[in-house]
Amino acid sequence: MASPETPEGKETPAERPLIMRYAARSDVGRIRSKNDDSAYVGRHLAVVADGMGGHAGGDVASASTVLDMIHLDHDDYPDGAETVLADEIQTANSLLSELVHQNPKLSGMGTTVTALLLEDRKLHFAHIGDSRAYRLRNKKFEQVSIDHTFVQRLIDEGRLRPEEAETHPHKNVLMRVLGDVDASPELDLDVLDVEPGERWLLCSDGLNYVAGHVVERMVRETKDLRECAEILVDLTLEAGAPDNVTVVMLEIVEETDDDVNTAAVDVVPAAALAAVDEPEPLTGSTSSEGPSATKSAEDAISDSKAKAAREADAGSSFSAGDPSDSDEEADDASSSADESKEPPTTTDPHLGEHLSAEVLREELASRPHELVGAAATAAETGSIPTVAGRTVARRAATVLTHKAEQDRVEEDEPVRRRVRWLMPAVAAVLVVGVVVGLWLGYAWTQTRYYVGEFDQRVAIFNGISQRLGPIQLSRLEAVTDIRVDSLPEYGQQSVHQTVPAGDLDDAQAIVENLKNTGSASANCPATTATATPSPSPTATVPVPSTAAVATPTPTSTPCEAAK
C-alpha cells in the first residue's frame, strides 16, 4: 500500500516509538531510621513500592518486589503485555511468602505496588496499596490510582468527608497489600491510551504531607523533571517528613535518534552499581549511553559508596546481607557501612547471592534507568533478598530471558505438600476397599438359595432373604404349584420364615419334601407306638370291675400329623 502523502506530495513520516523520560528521588525522611521505599524507572517501566512490616521487613518487601520486576523494562512483547504486570506482581507476592517461610522473623511484612508499563501506544497500569499515580494530560491533573485504605472505603461509602481523612486516626490502615499471604492479591488493573507530552507522578504516601494543590502546581509549572522531583521531596522534608518519601516523575515522549544510545534525563551508570564490588571500570556499557548519561568513573564510585554508606547509616536491612539482622545494624551503623562495601560470600552450590547480584547488575547496566531507595541499597551492597537456590535461579533466568516465570524442579518437596496429598490418598484407598468388600459380599449372596412364599405359593429364591437399604439381596428363581395354605401349620410357618438351602438342588429337594410330607425337613422319623398289653386272664384271681388297666397312646411327630 502506498504511503500517505501530504498536499505537497511528500510522504507522512512514520510514528516514532514512545518512551519515558524520567527522574526519581527517595529519602528516608526526618523520623524513620531506615528507608522502606523502593522505586525503579526506565524507558518503558516505572514502579514504586512502599514497604511495611517493622524494622526488619519493610525494605526487604519493597526491594524484593521492585528487583523482581526490572526485567519488564522493554517493549518487545510479541503476544501483548495485557497480563504481564499482573503476572509479575503475583510472582513477587509468592516470593515474599517464600521469604517469610524461610525467615519467620519477616512475618507480617508487605508492600504497596504502583506500576506503569509502556507498550507501543498503550500504558498498562497496576496498583495495590496506598502509593499513588497522578496524570497530567491536556492540562487536566488527576489521581488515577485509588487508595486501598480504610478511610478511603469510608469516603466511598459516604461516611467520611475527604478533608477529614488526613486527620483520621486510622488513615494508614491498608485494606489491600502485597505480602506474606497465600491468597492472590486483588490488583487494580487498567490499559490506558497514552499521548506524547503527558506527565505522570508516582509516589509513596510520604508525599501526602504536602498539600495536594501544591503538588499539582509543581507538576504543572516545573518543566525539568529532575527539578520537579527534587522540589517535591524537599517540600516533604520541610513539612516534617515523618515517613519515607519517594517520587518518580516521568513524561511520555517520542523516541529520537539521540535516545537510541543516550539516557533521557539521568542514568545511574553501570559503574556506580558495580563500584562497591568491582572497582575496575566497566567497558562498553557506559560508552553506549552517550555523554548525557555518564559521569567520570571516579565520581560514580564515590557517589555509590557515599550513597551506600548513607543507607547503611539509616539502618537498612540490606547493609549486612541479612534482613533479619536489622536490629544489630541499627545499633552499630558505622560497622554496617563497612560491611556494605564487602558483601558476604556464599558456598551455596546453586546460584547464590553473589551471582544473583552480578546478574542483576548486568541487567541494570544494559539500559538507562534510575533505581532508588531500599532496592538501590540492595543492588549496591550485593545483598539481594533470596529464597534458597531455586528462587535465585528463577530470578537470574527471568532477568536473562525476560520471562516472568520459569518451570523449576524442587529436589526436596516440602513436608506440608506431602501431607496435603496423603489424606486424599488414604481416603481413596478406604473408599475402594469398602466398594470391593461390598461387591464381594453381594457376589457371595448370589451363590445362596432359599424356599419362601410368592403369590401364596411355594417358591425358590436365589440369594438371601435380606435387604441392604434399597437393594434386595435376592431374586425369584422359580414358583411351584404348591399352595402355602394347603400345607400343615408347621409347614406354613417354615415357608413364611423361609428355609435356607445350600444350592439350587438343595432348594428343589426341600420343595419336593414339602409336596410329599408337608414338612421342610428331608428326614421324617417313622411312626412309633407302644402295643397295648393284654391282661392275662386268670380264673383264680378276679379282676375288680372298677379297676382299669392303662392303655398307652401312640405319640405323633410333625411328619405324622402331616400324614
pLDDT per residue rounded down to tens, the chain (563 residues): 444 455 555 565 677 899 999 999 999 999 998 999 999 999 999 999 999 875 568 889 999 999 999 999 998 888 888 889 999 999 888 888 888 888 888 888 899 999 999 998 899 999 999 999 999 999 999 999 999 988 888 888 888 888 777 778 777 788 888 886 656 788 999 999 999 999 999 999 999 999 999 999 999 999 999 999 999 999 999 999 999 999 999 999 998 887 765 543 344 444 444 443 443 333 333 333 333 333 333 444 445 445 444 544 445 555 433 444 444 433 443 444 444 444 443 333 333 444 467 777 888 888 899 999 999 998 888 776 655 444 444 444 444 333 334 444 444 455 556 667 788 888 999 999 998 888 888 788 888 888 888 888 889 988 888 777 777 788 888 888 888 888 888 888 888 888 888 888 888 888 888 888 877 765 554 433 344 444 444 444 444 444 444 444 444 444 544 44
Q: Pull the grid cell for residue 463.
A: 440369594
Asked if 56 and 327 count as a contact pair (C-beta separation under 8 A), the reply is yes
Q: How many CB atoms lie within 10 A of CB 27?
A: 21
CA distances from 157 to 63, 151, 160 (A): 34, 10, 8
The rounded distance, in Å, linking the Cα atoms of 528 and 455 is 37
CA distances from 255 to 76, 173, 259, 445, 446 (A): 15, 41, 6, 86, 86
In the sheet with 18-27, reading across from the earlier edge strand, the strands are 18-27, 245-254, 199-203, 132-137, 140-143
Residue with cell 488493573: 189
| Backbone Cα Rg of the chain | 46
